[in-house]
Structure 1
């Protein structure tokens, strides 16, 4: 499955966020592999970040990540630069954004 997330960087923290993501910890990469996250891409527009995540099961992966020590260390470190996550309605929340349209899905249905 593919999910999208929206977060915002704290003002003045873009460069530090970028540096932190130049190479994430290998133990976190291994955790992502173990929980079925095969791809995670982040795009930036100003202070807004858009995450494109491909995984086997988003909810199941997050259950494991919530208790994973490598993820806890990463969240503590990267959390210094993240203002908040937003849900589909613009409020605070870590829920995936609503899928509005997907060309690939449309082609498969044709």
Structure 2
């Protein structure tokens, strides 16, 4: 299993909308994500900065499987309107510097 961290940034003024939009993930999207190996996806927000922690069998395979999925395309369009720069599905994530387990 892979654990990775991703970072995105909101456009100013979109904080409340982003939080509200994430109150409920579309069921079809959740089913697709879990079917392709997603274990968990957590998002933390500090002002405009978003920090994602993802646990998945294979992140690249998940993104490839969802790339043309109608539920994911709709979700990405909905979310990317709120993000400064959009969401880079090809990002390998942040580099791990240190970990205490």
What is the TM-score of this pair, normalised by structure 2?
0.90
Give the Cα separation in 2 of the matches to 1:78 and 1:10: 11
Task: Report which of the two structures shows the higher radius of gyration computed on alpha carbons.
Answer: 1
Large movers: runs of 4+ above 3 Å? none
Of 61, 74, 96, 2:93 maps to 96
Structure 1: 5+ residue runs without aligned partners?
A: 88-92, 105-110
Q: Does 1:60 align with 2:61?
A: yes
Pairwise CA RMSD? 1.7
Structure-to-structure mapping, 1:6-17, within 5 angstroms? 6-17=7-18
Equivalenced residue count is: 99
What is the TM-score of this pair, normalised by structure 1?
0.83
For the residue of structure 1 that corresponds to 2:28, the secondary structure is helix
Q: What's the counterpart of residue 42 of structure 1?
A: 43
Structure showing the higher helix proportion among its residues:
1
Give the Cα separation in 2 of the matches to 1:97 and 1:86: 14
Structure 2: 5+ residue runs without aligned partners?
A: none
